[in-house]
Amino acid sequence: MESINEDKLKSVLAENLKLYRNKNQEMTAEIAGISKDTISKIERGITIPNTITLLKLCQALKITPNQLLEGLFETDNDSNEDKSGNLVKDFEMLIKNYKIQ
């Protein structure tokens, strides 16, 4: 498995959150039960959410973690291998490694 680049993770989360968020930050935050500031920091690539926040966002947006993290791993066009199958597990490991709160 390829290693996860923190800057790329921040960028992917920022882009995909903006893509899937169909309400303003305040409404999305209220539905997810998190702060508007948290959403703002994720969308600006300042912070990486913890696993609980990631899952709350996915639930609020009615998407899967794989959708929110889509584009994190390069895919081999000649292969149908799904490299994102363990994204939540990889995400938890990244949080533990970087001691992200």
The dihedrals phi and psi of 69, each to the nearest 5 degrees, come to: -100, 10
Architecture per CATH, domain 6-98, reads as Orthogonal Bundle (1.10)
Residue 51: band (very low, low, confident or very high) from pLDDT cuts 50, 70, 90: very high
Q: pLDDT tens digits for 60-96?
A: 999 999 999 999 886 545 444 455 556 667 667 766 6
pLDDT for position 86: 62
Domain ranges of the chain: 6-98
Return d(Cα 58, Cα 21) in angstroms, integer: 10
pLDDT in tens, 1-25: 567 789 999 999 999 999 999 999 9
pLDDT at 57 over 60: yes
Six-digit token string for 33: 């039960």
Q: What is the pLDDT of residue 79?
A: 46
